[in-house]
Structure 1
Amino acid sequence: MSKVRVGLVQMSCTANKQENLNKAIDRVKEAAKKGAQIICLQELFTSLYFCDVEDYANFSLAESIPGPSTEMLSVVAKEHNVVIIASLFEKRAQGIYHNTTVVLDADGAYLGKYRKMHIPDDPAFYEKFYFTPGDLGYKVFKTKYATLGVLICWDQWYPEASRITALMGAEILFYPTAIGWATSQDEATNIEQYNAWQTIQRSHAVANGVHVVSVNRVGFEQDEAMKFWGGSFISNPFGTILYQASHDKEEIVIQEIDTSTSDTYRTHWPFLRDRRIDSYQPITKRYIDED
């Protein structure tokens, strides 16, 4: 099937993990009732964005994968015949934690997980304190409705990640995300940052000829020092915005996309055909010195 209805859940979170999980499940059910077939939740949706501080107590938020959250979501996926993309804080072993997204098929089957490859370390985004970089490589998941590629937040800025995932056969790229504005910033900076964030992802759609779906959280966190900017969106394979959510409201979005249009765009704009793969070896270097 080429036509598929994608659901985005953009929501705010609280400090209560179970409350957030229950809220997300309710939103998934609502999206399913509205006709969604593939539903994507935002990054780390079971908690506040805890990486604003380096606090050992936050490791207690992690869980095994598969584990309690995937078990609950699996029941919902099977009951409503939907694919669920769920971003979780994974405890792999004592002292080893990952930022991980799981994919559950429409029959509730656990298809696997992707561990975030690119880990940021910026003020209020201290992810290197918590997360071991992913070691599963880039992944695609063959679901009932489409073959999906999943990348996570900071991965958004790296064309190498989207390219490899697309070359592996992803028909749609999903980006669960948690990104926001410092409330101390001026509006011009806010606009510039959001536009850059959206533009880089739309460029991945264009370069690879695939739909891109980005799902962000919304609301004030970190004692209102951070406003997560929402703005979840869906881009077609040539960068056209099919839907963009608001910056300040919780939303459940259902958007039909046609994955067969990738062939049309790739045929008329043959970027994949004209790649000079024989010349790309320097990309594996950190930096290329002239001497």
Structure 2
Amino acid sequence: MANHQWQLGLVQGTGHDDPEAALAAMESGIREAAGQGADLVLLPELHNGPYFCQTEDPTVFDRAEPVPGPTTQRLGRVAAETGTVIVGSVFEHRAPGLAHNTAVVLDRDGSLAGTYRKMHIPDDPGYYEKFYFTPGDTGFRPVETSLGRLGVLVCWDQWFPEAARLMAMAGAEILLYPTAIGSDPRDDAAEQARQIEAWQTVQRGHAVANGLPLAACNRVGHEPDPAGGPGIDFWGRSFVCGPQGEWLEQPGGSSTGVRVVPVSRRRSEEVRRMWPFFRDRRVDAYADLVKRWRDDTV
């Protein structure tokens, strides 16, 4: 292993109505992170504009673009210029009426190293993603890059231990989550605090259970509902944790910004030797996990 650690940059950003301004802000953040030594940069989910899934609007499909396409070409140029691997997010137009929420990975030479199409698609008040996104079909497979095997998942995927486990089983060296999550402004402070703690805790659990470092890069700021609803207060609070769930970078605040965090590539080997959860799985006894529910009472 030539490089024993990543310098992981998180670009915590807000939604812009203008796609050009949104992508320019991400590009600026990538360059800032690279200037601080980052060789791997993680962006938020759907960073090219506002979080449009608060309403169901057929005209929004006009925002979708192919992969490869304009965003991957532009991020690829930035990756090559800065020598970074970039994990970005695209509203992917695959065919007429068929779109995905797709993470894209650009390698340090500017090439498209791979993609991951979001598998778990929410359909909740304020998050009407099933109207726009077809569930992914790329499977839970890491993307091979010049910096190693990246286990890229997207937002709602972060609540499912199965997704993290399958990425780990396929040899992912780190779990990376572009994210867009927040609270209803009508929720009281105690409820919002519980939501944020749950979000952090479940992901730290994935790190512990799989012996892997993990990072989540979230949107930040209030985004209004075009239909006149309460909108969403995106939390920000992007973070990085190690393979024992330890904070490598404490959750950030609720403002835009860039942080660069050193992440060891050796630590997983050390932790899995001493805390061998991954080794001791009883894979012969888990067949029922592929069922929706167990109806037997025995």
TM-score (norm 2): 0.96
* SS of match in other structure, 1:43: coil
Aligned residue in 2 for 1:22: 24
Which residue type is aligned with residue 231 of structure 2? A
The reply on whether 1:40 has 2:42 as its aligned counterpart is yes
Partners of 1:28 and 1:273 in 2: CA distance: 37
1:160 CA displacement: 0.4
TM alignment of 1:105-184, pairs within 5 A: 105-184=107-186
Query: Structure 1, unaligned stretches of length 5 or more?
Result: none
1:224-259 deviation line (CA, Å, top 9, x unaligned): 631100010000000011113433211201000111
Which residue type is aligned with residue 57 of structure 1? T
The reply on whether 1:229 has 2:229 as its aligned counterpart is no
1:144-181 deviation line (CA, Å, top 9, x unaligned): 22221100000001000000001111111000000001
Give the alignment partner of residue 98 of structure 2, picking from 96, 99, 103. Answer: 96
Partners of 2:89 and 2:36 in 1: CA distance: 22
Partners of 1:139 and 1:20 in 2: CA distance: 29
Aligned residue in 1 for 2:270: 264
Partners of 1:218 and 1:125 in 2: CA distance: 16
The reply on whether 1:254 has 2:260 as its aligned counterpart is yes
Q: Is the 8 A contact 2:105 2:143 kept in 1?
A: yes
Which residue type is aligned with residue 9 of structure 2? G
Provide runs of 4+ in structure 1 moved above 4 Å: none
- Greater displacement, 62-71 / 141-150: 141-150
Partners of 1:151 and 1:225 in 2: CA distance: 25
- Give aligned-pair identity as a percent: 47
Partners of 1:139 and 1:53 in 2: CA distance: 31
* SS of match in other structure, 2:30: helix
Aligned residue in 1 for 2:78: 76
Q: Considering only aligned residues, what root-mean-square deviation do their CA atoms show, in Å?
A: 1.0
* SS of match in other structure, 1:254: strand
Partners of 2:6 and 2:114 in 1: CA distance: 21
Partners of 1:259 and 1:41 in 2: CA distance: 21
Q: Is the 8 A contact 1:245 1:251 kept in 2?
A: no
Aligned residue in 2 for 1:283: 289
1:176-196 deviation line (CA, Å, top 9, x unaligned): 000001111100000000000
1:143 CA displacement: 1.6
* SS of match in other structure, 1:113: strand
Query: Structure 2, unaligned stretches of length 5 or more?
Result: none
Aligned residue in 2 for 1:186: 188
1:142 CA displacement: 2.0
